[in-house]
Structures are given as C-alpha cells and as structure tokens.
Structure 1
Amino acid sequence: MSIGKQIKAMRKIRGLTQKELAEKCSMADSAVRKYESGKIVPKIEMLKRIADALEMPVGAFLPSMGLGESTGSRIKIARERQGVTQAELAEKMGVTPQSISQYERNIINPKPETIKKFADALGVDARWLEVGEYEDNSLSGEEQQLLRYFRIMSPEGQHVALERMDELSQHPRYKKDF
C-alpha cells in the first residue's frame, strides 16, 4: 500500500477529515490531498507530524517507503515469531547458520527460489517475505496494513490488538450490514 493510501486509511480510521488532519499538522489541506493521492510523498519531517497527528509510530509508514523493513528483516521477524533459531532454520533449509545470518542482515539478497524456501520453512507468504505484501489478492490495502501492524507487535501487543478488534466487531456502529 502506498504511503498516501496509508495516510488516508489511518485518517479515516481516526475519523478525521482532510482539513482536520491538516489543522493537526499545521499544513494546508491541499497538502493532505496531494499526499493521499500520491502526487507528492511527504518528507520525513512532515511524515512525523502526520504520524503524531494520527497517533501512530512514524515507522508504520516506513516499510511502504522502502525504509526500515527489508526481506532480511521480515525473515528475522518470521523466524523469531516461530521461536526458531538461525541454526534450526538453517538445518531445515539445508544451508549454514552463517548464510541465514547474512540474509537477515541484508548482506545477501535471497533469490526468488530461496525466498520460497524461507516461506515454506517458516510457514509465511513468500510475497510478504519478498516485498511486504501478500499474494492473496482478496486482501484490501487496509487489510494488508492491519497484517503489517500485527506482525511488528510483540505477542502481548498482538493479544491486546485481538481483544480490541473483538470489541470493535461487536459494536453495532462498526458492524457491516449484510
């Protein structure tokens, strides 16, 4: 999801208009429109102001800008979530622990077939490992963003997030009309 779409999604989740977000950031609402449409990408200083106004970490935007998250970091995240050591993953994949370390530190960029092996060994989506997006085209950009947020949370944060999602899903205001 582009940074503009992320800004728009989070603005809507927070129940803000473009004008309200602009006021919180001390900028023109035309700038918010340009960011959301993708006509311009905010500089990091402005992104920080937007993140603060939306009450979220600026790092949540960085993966879509190609910063802060890489294939190596996603491999490490997935491995740690599985509770697997580098040595255990290496054995499962038939490679050395040193090569796992090099992939995780982005010294070596894995080829597509290696990404597939990582995905199979870790039980995650190969497209997510490669580019931070999901192969499942049925997921909207907002759903993919929810998954990204969930994956960067600690187990305790994930538990709290699920509790809150359960609360929201029961609230009449937020239920879909089928």
Structure 2
Amino acid sequence: MVVELRKKQGISQTDLASQLGIHKNVFGRYERNEVLPSIEIARKIADILDVSLDYLTGKADVQMDKNTRERILEVSKFEEEDKQHIFSVIDAFIAKRKIQSIL
C-alpha cells in the first residue's frame, strides 16, 4: 500500500525516509513488511501521503483527501438535527448521480 501511494505521488524512499527522520533502509523494511512502524511513524507516513491512518493500514477501503476528512470531522461535531440536514443534502446528490449514471 505505502509503495503504491509513495510512487503515485512521485516521492522517493529516500525523500520519505528523510521527512520521517529515519534511515531509508529502515523505511524500506516498512515497505517490505519486515517490521511495523511505531504508531507515531505510521501517523507521519499517513500525513505525508495525505491519507487516513485507517486507509494506510487497510482498515478503510476509501481514500479521502485531507480537505474531505477535515469536513467530515467538522460535521461530526454538529448537533444531530444539523447532521441530518447535511446528510439529506448528500443523499439527494448521491441519488441524482445514480440516476444520471443509469441514463
């Protein structure tokens, strides 16, 4: 997962390792699943690659950009009634897209 994300963004192993403050050989071992990074390093990798930690670890199957994640987190703080209004609007857009894809 990390290899594909890193390459997709055009980041070398050396550059990513440098941003993490670790040796590239250590990072290579993470990519080969020889060792697991600490939660702190995993969080930093997710931040650098602009994915959630859940996505990075395979717990989530949808990759969201930082802006989307921040918006969802903000909505989750709303009162229930406000959340339901927002979900109604989202549901309407989803239904519209589904109809358009059929036509």
What TM-score bracket applies, with the shorter chain setting the length?
Answer: 0.5 to 0.7
For 2:36 and 2:27, the matched residues in 1 are separated by 11
For 2:14 and 2:30, the matched residues in 1 are separated by 13
1:131 maps to: 58
Taking structure 1 as the reference length, what is the TM-score of the superposition? 0.35
For 1:89 and 1:112, the matched residues in 2 are separated by 16
2:72 maps to: none
Kept in 1: contact 2:46–2:56 (CA 8 A): yes
Report deviation, 1:111: 2.3
CA-atom RMSD in angstroms: 2.4
Give the letter for the 2:50 counterpart.
G
Where do 5+ consecutive residues of structure 1 fail to align? 1-73, 135-143, 148-168
2:39 maps to: 112
Q: Higher relative contact order at CA 8 Å, sep ≥6: structure 1 or structure 2? A: 1
- Per-residue deviation, residues 118-173 of structure 1 (Å, max 9, x unmatched): 01111111111112416xxxxxxxxx3xx5xxxxxxxxxxxxxxxxxxxxx48646
2:83 equivalent to 1:174: no
2:87 maps to: none
2:34 equivalent to 1:98: no
For 1:115 and 1:173, the matched residues in 2 are separated by 38
- Superposed, 1:71-90 pairs within 5 Å as 74-90=1-17
Give the letter for the 2:102 counterpart.
Y
Q: Secondary structure at the match of 2:57?
A: helix
- Per-residue deviation, residues 9-56 of structure 1 (Å, max 9, x unmatched): xxxxxxxxxxxxxxxxxxxxxxxxxxxxxxxxxxxxxxxxxxxxxxxx
| Percent identity of paired positions between Structure 1 and Structure 2 | 27
Taking structure 2 as the reference length, what is the TM-score of the superposition? 0.58
For 1:91 and 1:101, the matched residues in 2 are separated by 12
